[in-house]
């Protein structure tokens, strides 16, 4: 079993293409690419964590039906961390879980999941990573708080080893010593 992470798919959201300079001519092409990437990577026994903004929020009946059809062909156990665009109709899809945040352990590594980036979070002093979306292509994150949004990962879901590798090359948050004084920041897993 593998655990996958992604954020900010914005399925069926035509305007997100220009807002985020996505390389697609239309939402249908964008949606097809992201669904194909999920189907290639995620297996039925895997966990897929979507850290917010799964689809267009103000959807027509036709868009809602299209989003539901896409939801149904995404493999794995699907978990939603609620984002600012995840209206009730999105939260009511048959997710395996829906929460504003989650504190989980994957391969011995504590992960704190939230749609929004955070400076500090549960487990931060002990090597936890915080995974987020929301900011799209604008910011990759820091050594211990990493953007898993599709705009930063080639429109693909990612695994913890991929996230940890990227984290090693990100800077330490410049406010770390202010919010967690006396706690050195590392990318090693902690308890």
Q: Identify the three-state secondary structure at position 178.
A: helix
Q: CB–CB of 97/115 below 8 Å?
A: no
How do the domains of the chain map onto residue ranges? 3-179
Contacts with 1 (C-beta within 8 Å, 6 or more apart), sequence order: 43, 45, 46, 47
**Can you tell me the distance from the alpha carbon of 125 to that of 89, in angstroms, rounded to the nearest whole number?**
37
User: What is the residue-level pLDDT of the chain in tens, covering all 191 positions?
Assistant: 999 999 999 999 999 999 999 999 999 999 999 999 999 999 999 999 999 999 998 999 999 999 999 999 999 999 999 999 999 999 999 999 999 999 999 999 999 999 999 999 999 888 899 999 999 999 999 999 999 999 999 999 999 999 999 999 999 888 888 878 877 765 444 33
Architecture of domain 3-179: 4-Layer Sandwich (3.60)
Predicted pLDDT at 186 = 54
pTM of the model: 0.93
Predicted pLDDT at 125 = 86
Contacts with 61 (C-beta within 8 Å, 6 or more apart), sequence order: none
Predicted pLDDT at 177 = 80
């Amino acid at each position: 079993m593998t655990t996958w992470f992604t954020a900010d798919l914005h399925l069926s959201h035509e305007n997100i293409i220009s807002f985020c300079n996505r390389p697609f001519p239309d939402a249908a092409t964008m949606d097809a690419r992201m669904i194909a990437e999920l189907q290639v990577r995620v297996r039925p026994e895997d966990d897929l964590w979507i850290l917010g903004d799964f689809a267009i929020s103000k959807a027509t009946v036709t868009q809602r039906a299209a989003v539901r059809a896409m939801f149904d062909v995404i493999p794995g156990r699907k978990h939603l961390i609620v984002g600012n665009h995840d209206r009730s109709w999105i939260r009511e899809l048959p997710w395996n879980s829906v929460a504003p945040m989650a504190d989980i352990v994957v391969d011995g590594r504590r992960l704190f999941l939230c749609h929004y980036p955070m400076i500090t979070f549960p487990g931060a002093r002990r090597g936890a990573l915080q995974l987020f979306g929301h900011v799209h292509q604008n910011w990759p994150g820091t050594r211990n708080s990493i953007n898993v949004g599709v705009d930063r990962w080639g429109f693909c879901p990612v695994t913890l080893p991929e996230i940890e590798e990227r984290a090693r090359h990100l800077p330490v948050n410049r406010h770390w010593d202010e919010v967690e004084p006396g706690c050195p920041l590392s990318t090693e897993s902690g308890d």
